[in-house]
Amino acid sequence: MDKGDPVAACVGRHGGDAGKLLQILRDVQAALGHLGPDAIDAVAQALGIPRVHVEATATFYHLLHAESHGVYEILFSDNIVDRMLGKDELMAYLCERMWLAPEKVSEDGLVYVGSTSDIGLGDQGPAALVNGWPLPLLDHNRLDLIAGLIRNQKPLPDWPAMLFEVVPNVRRGDALLAEPHAAGAAVQRVLEIGPEGMLEELERACPRGRGGAGFRTAVKWASCRRASGKAHYVVCNADEGEPGTFKDRVLLQAHADLVVDGMTVAARVIGAARGLLYLRGEYLFLAAALERVLQRRREEGLLGDHILGEPGFNFDIEIALGAGAYICGEESALIESAEGKAGRPRNRPPFPDTHGYRGEPTVVNNVETFACAAKIAVRGGAWFAAIGTPESTGTKLLSVSGDCARPGIYEYPFGVSVRRVLEDCGAQHAHAVQVGGPSGTCLSWREFERRIAFEDVPTAGAFMIFGRQRDMFEVARNFTHFFTHESCGFCTPCRVGTSLLSNHMDKLAAGKGSAYDLAQMQRLMHIMLTMSHCGLGHTAAKPVVETMEKFPETYERRLKALDYEPAFDLDGALQTARQITGRDDAWAHLDAGKP
């Protein structure tokens, strides 16, 4: 290997494994500053795979780019909550200070300022990333400081640490967060009761997956245990891309041992020797601390060969970083990404429990689900089942943000009312709550007695609050553009439908809407719901559907006509020509001669 060749060095670092293509591309971009055609060629040659495969992966992810983004890449979070907190004005302010246009590299090649989707800091916004590192709680003073550091070309390690400080921000803890957890306690317990005993405890506890789908954990683990294959895998889904969600960030930041214990328990149950923690690219700043946790556990005999002295109990975990793709939160898309490919959902069946990572039986669970599993191992299934409701056992972590006095993480037993959460976080004038992110449920003030539970209002964890002053049409429009941006492009109903839906919303926002547009949107929403390939397309229209139903007035006041109204104003476009020719008589307008 040529030590002077950065591409060869990156490929060699990953053992020349084409299955780690995404990790290699991340490293190459970090070394070269971008992934230009020459870099793509070199990676393809070094791995011995077709160039088209490398390019397909490199162009799929938002955090990878073919052109240089300068020495400092600053990406402002474009979550609706960040916008409510002044993101657009702050981004414009920084661009003015740095003398550059948004989404462009400065003339000196020093800095790039742009937007990206939610970065998992909804409780500490407005926020941004600089070269992947978090900048929470931005204001003019902090941006002035950042502009000065960039002009002086200060390396990021020399920036004030307070600029990067992300606090866990736990406002209310319960079964998971309020009680201390000793590293390895769950692993010791599963060694005592055995894999079958652990499955019995899961059956008693009846936990459902915390990633949103709510599939029963015991069923998934038992199926994977029975499946035949050359190897079994445990995959932790930490691709927390749903706007408004940040609970997994907190678990990994402050309770990593609890999560890793849960993964190790799963490994014992299904017979896995290898685990993968798929960490979203926006959480790069957590990777080094997590690596230290894994190394400490190896030294303590909690990972590696013969865990806690048990012969044959071999299990270790590696971290795989994503690169900015919301769709990778879907378990089969995550597996595709972990295998170095574009993160597009697979056709199912087969399901990951029999044909998952590298085609082998795989358990894929959310970060919070593994934390629950570790607690169940230590405290028992009956203890867990006594919390919450019969259909929704245990507790739920809620990522509370938006128009409230105390944003942060709140843990409640399932069955808590929306109103109780609003009271606890200081949301005095709530008008609506988006539960579960854009793909979740929009609740109006009339529905605040509803309860957080799989049988009523299910959620992966997002809880975004909107006060009376907020325009719910603009909230839905932001969500619609998010889905358009994040569509993987695999199927036509989603790829085209999200774009058309965004166009109609923009037309309404411009004051050129009509009843025709509302009817077309209804038609599009039906097509997307019934014909899209995966859940993104099925739910992409949900924000529009629900806000049209619950806040119809916000759409009606944007209608210019009851019949069709064109989005393009041709007569208005001719205004420049009229000014040049000095004509403004009736015949210089398109409606000349009309009665």
Nearest residue to 315 via CA among 305, 300, 330, 325: 305
**pLDDT averaged over every residue in the chain:** 93
Helix (H, G, I), strand (E, B) or coil at 358: helix
The answer to whether position 392 is within a domain reads no
List the domain range (segments joined by +) for residue 440.
398-470
Label residue 347 exposed, middle or buried (CB < 10 Å: 0-12, 13-18, 19+).
exposed
Q: Are residues 462 and 503 in the same domain?
A: no
- The per-residue pLDDT for range 471-494, each reduced to its tens digit, is 999 999 999 999 899 888 889 989
Q: Is the pLDDT of residue 139 over 80?
A: yes
Token pair of 228 as six digits = 């035949």
Tens digits of per-residue pLDDT, 503-539? 999 999 988 888 888 888 889 888 998 999 888 888 8
Strands (DSSP E) contained in 136-229 are 170-172
CA-wise closest residue to 535 among 393, 436, 395: 436
Residue 435 sits in the same domain as residue 477: no
Q: 300 by DSSP, 3-state: which?
A: coil
User: CATH code at 479?
Assistant: 1.20.1440.230
Question: Which residues partner with 402 through β-bridges?
Answer: 465
> pLDDT of 30-70, one tens digit each?
999 999 999 999 999 999 999 999 999 999 999 999 999 99
Q: What is the pLDDT of residue 595?
A: 46
Cα–Cα distance, 532 to 241 (Å, whole number): 20
CB contact set of 594 (below 8 Å; sequence gap of 6+) = none
Q: Give residue 1's pLDDT band: very low, low, confident or very high (50, 70, 90).
A: very low
Q: What is the pLDDT of residue 469?
A: 95
Q: State the amino acid at position 252 in one-letter form.
A: L
User: How many separate domains does the chain show?
Assistant: 5
pLDDT at 409 over 70: yes
Q: Are 364 and 235 in contact (CB under 8 A)?
A: yes
The answer on 276 and 159 residing in a single domain is no
Instruction: Give domain status of residue 129, yes or no.
Output: yes
Residue 536 is predicted with a pLDDT of 84
- The domain that contains 307 carries what CATH number? 3.40.50.11540
In a domain, 203, yes or no: yes
Bridge-based pairing of strands 133-135 and 559-561 is unpaired
pLDDT, residue 561, reads 61
Residues 294 and 280: their CA atoms lie apart, in Å, by 18
The residue out of 427, 448, 470 marking a domain boundary is 470
Q: Which of 134, 167, 200 is the last residue of a domain?
A: 167
Instruction: Look at residue 391 and tell me if it is in a domain.
Output: no
pLDDT at 123 over 60: yes
Here the CATH number for the domain that contains residue 427 is 3.10.20.600
pLDDT over 70 (residue 129):
yes
For residues 363 and 309, what is the distance between their CA atoms, to the nearest angstrom? 25
> Cβ distance 122 to 247 under 8 Å?
no
Q: Is residue 584 part of a domain?
A: no
Q: Are residues 212 and 277 in the same domain?
A: yes
Q: What is the CATH number of the domain that holds 134?
A: 3.40.30.10
Same domain, 199 and 329: yes
Q: Which of 167, 202, 225 is at the close of a domain? A: 167
Q: What is the pLDDT of residue 576?
A: 83
Domain assignment of residue 577, yes or no: no
For residues 35 and 85, membership in a common domain is answered with: no
The reply to whether 304 and 240 lie within a common domain is yes
Q: Give burial (CB, 10 Å; 0-12/13-18/19+) of 183.
A: middle
Q: Is the pLDDT of residue 422 over 50?
A: yes
Q: What is the pLDDT of residue 567?
A: 63
Same domain for 38 and 90?
no
Over residues 262-275, the mean pLDDT reads 98
451 lies in the same domain as 489: no
Is the domain of 433 the same as that of 486? no
In this prediction, residues 114-142 reach a mean pLDDT of 96
Own/partner contacts of 252-256, CB < 8 Å, gap of 24 or more, are 252/279, 252/283, 252/286, 252/290, 252/367, 253/166, 253/168, 253/286, 253/289, 254/168, 254/170, 255/176, 255/177, 255/181, 255/371, 256/289, 256/290, 256/293
Residue 289 has pLDDT above 80, yes or no: yes
**Are 372 and 227 in a shared domain?**
yes
pLDDT digits (tens, 9 = 90+) for 141-189: 999 999 999 999 999 999 999 999 999 999 999 999 998 999 999 999 9
For the residues 188-211, what does the mean pLDDT come to? 96
pLDDT computed for residue 573 by the predictor:
75
Q: Is residue 66 part of a domain?
A: no
pLDDT of residue 592: 56
78 and 197 fall within a common domain: no
What is the C-alpha separation between 130 and 138, in angstroms, rounded?
12
Pick from 380, 394, 378, 365: nearest CA to 263: 365
366 pLDDT more than 90: yes
In a domain, 390, yes or no: no
pTM, to two decimals: 0.92
